[in-house]
Structure 1
Amino acid sequence: MHIEIEEGMHVVARGKAALIVGPVDADSVEVLLLSTRQKITVGLNEIEFITVPKRSTGGPELLYLTRLESESNDQEIQLALRRYEVLSRLHRKEISVAQAAEEIGVTRSHVYKLRAKHDESMGYCTQLVQRRGNKKNSRHLDPALEKEIEAVLETFRERAGVTFAEVWRAVQKACMSLNLKCPVRRTIRNRMKSSFTRKEVTRLKYGREVAAQMHDSRPGKYKATKPLEWVQTDHTLVDYEVLTDDRSDIIGRPWLTLFIDVYTRVILGYYLSLHPPSTLSVACALAHAVMPKEDFLRRLNLSGFKYPMYGPPSMVYMDNAKEYRSHKYLSSLDRAHIGYDHRPLGKKHFGGHVERLIGTMMNKVHLLSGSTMSNTVIRKRLARDRKPTQTFTEFARWFALEVMEYHSTVHSEIKKTPLQAWQDYYGPHGVVPFPPQITDAHQFRLNFMPQEYRNIRPGGIEFKTRFYWDPVLDPFIGEKKVLMKYDPFSLKQIWVQLDGQFIAIPFADMTLPDITLEEHRAKVLSSHSLEPGSFGDAQAAEAHSEAGRIESTSIKKTRAAKKQLAAKVEYQKEFSSAVVVKKEKKVAPDYSLPPKPFKGGV
């Protein structure tokens, strides 16, 4: 059986008798509890319908009295309470009509009118004074005009990001087409508020995502019981622009991939990159989360600081981005015995912990000179002299220090620092002395390392403008498309698959310093070297253009000469009998005379 939910319908909400007041959004309604006269918002799944879905005649009246009560002031409510108490005694025949009139201060005839409205089940609300004049939400427009306005508003119900001016213009257009007088703007605003739910109004103005964040219900939450049980991950584009190594140009804004442990709120691992999110950045961030951080701190020259958080998570919770659903990444998680799950589509709040952490870290970034801030409105208020000052390497070191500062700052939710929460569980005096360890760290890193195919040349294997060599490659020189893997955190060596196993191959030039993949990207973006065959200056381009003009001019002249010669031949054929061609007499040169210098030019 189908039931239409209507205003004034009797239902059972959360186990209590109630009346439907009206919709709140697509998933919830406002109800009036009959026992307490309290208005509450409940979900549709919390409502039980009466067996006979018939609206009671007292429902609308009770809703009207409830609205009347909410609109009354304290003085009117006190008067209603006094009259209700006197009329109740009159109803029980404890006093006479004359005594009731005297106590209330009205005539006897008026007491009869008040007694007619008296209802014990409705309470004192039946004695509230009804104000004169137009009632709230009353409508006085022509029904045809009301219908047209509703039709126009209905076309905007499912739209998002619409201004009121656009709605107003649509109403004016509809009214003019029917030769109806258009109402004022305030009337249209009131019709929108009465016709649309709060969520629909927010979506119409700010978009679907903002409306979902403000109005969607979020009952319950997952509560982790120990560290590494539940880890969330997400990406963000950092609100900061980094410079080239020579500080002459801006490279762009880095991307940040984060892993947060929900129980302790520690940043288990992260990865800063100069390319959009990909399987590479996700794998690097996960490897950083699982492995100890000593080498990471040493590369950043931060060995004096501690970063004791590491370990394989039991569950990684992520969104539905392409890189989080790639077969290579998910199969690597399966091989590492790490569970994973994805958020429901469109439910951003399911990753609320990592989203809030991203906001916290970006607030720190906003204090830097050169921050782009989170939106254009705030960016316009920045001072013009706030230019970027940090290279990518400097920003990576600064961000690592901010992460350590975050770990030592008391968190508002867990009431302690994330570092203390971690050490309370993993530490000499904690529940467990050490986090879970990876039995074969090298194999784990290989599983998540990015891979490429390269040819083995006599000079070694070329990768990222550097050559790698080891005598073990001698028998394999000339092999093509050999599988190799590399560690984005350290390019000092690569791993090449030879005869079914991976072998480490170092730099051919052992004097080269170690470098990370992102530092290499930063150097490539900052270098101004030209590709082979590129023009080195404007003169080359000008010479190329002039040579082209000479070629095109010579082609035109050659064509004209050929046409002139062909015309001459045809003319001679046609008029050969009438035209006497005088042949020039050839004069043999006199070689006894001295030579004369040539006077002329090209």
Structure 2
Amino acid sequence: MTASRRGKRAAYALDPALAYLDQTPPRHGERPFERTHMDHTELDILLVSSVTGKPLAKPWATFLTDAYSRRILACYVTYDPPSYRSAMMAFRLCVKQYGRLPQELVVDRGPEFGSVYFESLLARCFMTKLERPPQQPRFGSVIERLFGKTNTELLNQLRGNTQASKVPRQMTDEVDPKRLAVWTLDAFARRLTEYCLEVYDQMEHRALFQSPREAFAQGMLRAGSRAHTMIPYSEAFLIQTRPSTRTGVVKIHQSRGITVNGLQYWHECMRSPAVFGKSVPVRYEPYNMGFAYAYIDGQWIECIAETFLQVHGRSEHEWNLIVIER
């Protein structure tokens, strides 16, 4: 009756939760790294520029959390909206911290989780992607509750939080986030990481009756270390997390080198007559357009941008905005 009168979204809250559960395996896995959740959220805090001190924007955070222990495996903060770049950076943090990636990954149906680069990385690392049904947040309750907990326990206690701006008619200059904002992106990212690894990780979870750190250690002790799943944080892994161009290959020019995303890159080995004129696979660093990587003579060669001083340290998203403005 509710669905016919008010629509399926209104009736969703009345659906029985048990109807969606498979009673055979545990829905959160039987051990750490068996099933994880990844999602993005816009944080309720206004950050300032590290150069001018003026308010900039609200950051985005990408969380990767373990469903079995509720432990936060990775937290990546950036100004960029949700994209495959943020997902790959979260994978890098997970491998750097724990030396492995999960067996199953639960994501929503966002376009960043369906990109070629994202799917290729999952295939190379033998991960299975599980998509949540559309417009049914109940399947992502593990990470959705983490978003709310982070807001209430951390962000709402920091200067520059945007609680007051949600009721604009009641907001005064005394509580205006633009006047109170003091956190830069770097300082806030370190504070959020400290909260995830030291505070939240040691707080007792109501569903576990123990802290995520204790549940994680207990699960690893029972399931074993599974050394065969370890992934070294090496240049080979970093190459896998770097995206390629639309075609995947570029042609080497004798004097100009290679062109990637409208920028020219060069390495001395491109002067060889045996190399120029060939089409080789290419990859680039999404958060530093100063470098690109070409696969020449059986190895990945680091090439430097012609306009290195202008693009060094700039992300792909930031550089595209600069090109559009010009």
Normalised by the length of structure 2, the TM-score is 0.75
Task: Return the alpha-carbon distance in structure 2 between the equivalents of residues 243 and 346 of structure 1.
Answer: 34
CA positional deviation for 1:381:
4.7
Q: 1:170-181, aligned counterparts within 5 Å?
A: none
Instruction: Please tell me whether the aligned partners of residues 258 and 267 of structure 1 are also in contact (alpha carbons under 8 angstroms).
Output: yes
Match in the other structure for 2:16: 217
* Alignment partner, residue 210 of structure 2: 416
- Structure 1 residues 439, 515: closer, same or farther in 2, change over 3 A? same
1:247-271 deviation digits (Å, cap 9, x = unpaired)? 3433322222221110011111232
Say whether residues 1:371 and 2:161 are aligned partners: yes
Q: Distance in 2 between matches of 1:430 and 1:402?
A: 27
| Higher relative contact order structure (alpha carbons within 8 Å, sequence separation ≥ 6) | 2
Q: 1:498 aligns with which of 284, 296, 307?
A: 296
SS at match of 1:485: strand
- SS class of match (1:371): coil
Query: In 1, distance between residues paired with 2:16 and 2:201?
Result: 31
Partner of 2:51: 246
Q: Return the match for 2:188 from 395, 398, 401.
A: 395
Q: What does 1:125-524 correspond to in 2, within 5 Å?
A: 158=5, 200=6, 209=9, 212=12, 214-219=13-18, 220=21, 222-289=27-94, 291-293=95-97, 309-363=98-152, 364-373=154-163, 376-377=166-167, 380-381=170-171, 383-386=174-177, 387-404=180-197, 405-426=199-220, 431-433=223-225, 436-438=229-231, 441-452=234-245, 470-475=267-272, 483-488=281-286, 493-499=291-297, 501-505=299-303, 515=313, 517=315, 521=318
CA contact (8 A) 2:165 2:176 kept: no
Provide Cα deviations, 1:256-297, integer angstroms capped at 9, x if missing partner: 2221110011111232232221222222223332x123xxxx
How far the C-alpha of 1:328 sits from its partner, in A, is: 3.6
> Residues 488 and 381 of structure 1: is their aligned pair in 2 closer, same or farther, counting only changes over 3 Å?
same
CA contact (8 A) 1:265 1:418 kept: yes
SS of residue in 2 equivalent to 1:419: helix
Q: Contact 1:232–1:354 at 8 Å: present in 2 too?
A: yes
Once the two structures are overlaid, the 10-residue window that deviates more, 494-503 or 479-488, is 479-488
For residues 222-247 of structure 1, the C-alpha deviation after alignment (integer angstroms, 9 at most, x for no partner) is 14210011111111112122222313
Provide closer, same or farther for how the CA distance between residues 445 and 217 of structure 1 changes in structure 2, counting only shifts above 3 A: same
Deviation at 1:215, TM superposition (A): 1.8
Please report how far the alpha carbon of residue 478 of structure 1 lies from its aligned counterpart in structure 2 after TM superposition.
7.1
Query: Are the counterparts in 1 of residues 96 and 233 from structure 2 also a CA contact under 8 Å?
Result: no
RMSD: 4.0
* 468 and 243 in structure 1: CA distance in 2 versus 1, 3 angstrom threshold: farther
Query: How has the CA–CA distance of structure 1 residues 361 and 479 changed in structure 2, closer, same or farther, with 3 Å as cutoff?
Result: farther
Does the aligned pair in 1 maintain the 2:99–2:232 contact within 8 Å? no
Q: Distance in 1 between matches of 2:36 and 2:168?
A: 32
Whether contact under 8 Å (1:470, 1:508) holds in the other structure is: no
CA contact (8 A) 1:319 1:342 kept: yes
Counterpart CA distance in 2 for 1:350 and 1:469 is 48
Contact in 2 for aligned 1:257/1:281 (Cα 8 Å): yes
Q: Matched residues in 1 for 2:158 and 2:258: separation?
A: 41
User: Residues 241, 331 of structure 1: CA spacing in aligned structure 2 closer, same or farther, 3 A cutoff?
Assistant: same
Query: How far apart, CA to CA, are the structure 1 residues paired with 2:219 and 2:137?
Result: 30
- Displacement of 1:463: 7.7
Q: Is the 8 A contact 1:460 1:508 kept in 2?
A: no
**3-state DSSP class of the match of 2:145?**
helix
Distance in 2 separating the partners of 1:441 and 1:216: 47
> Deviations for 1:290-343, whole angstroms, at most 9, x for unmatched residues?
x123xxxxxxxxxxxxxxx45221111111112222344223312321111111
1:292 counterpart SS class = helix
Work out the percentage of aligned pairs sharing the same amino acid. 23
Cα pair distance change 1:337/1:457, threshold 3 Å: same
* Structure with bigger gyration radius: 1
Counterpart Cα distance in 1 of 2:132 and 2:166: 29
TM-score by length of 1: 0.43
Letter in 2 for 1:258: F
The code of the aligned residue for 1:407 comes to: D
Distance 1:497 1:342 in 2: 33
Q: Is the 8 Å Cα contact of residues 165 and 171 (structure 2) preserved in structure 1? A: no
- Secondary structure, in 3 states, of the residue corresponding to 1:356? helix
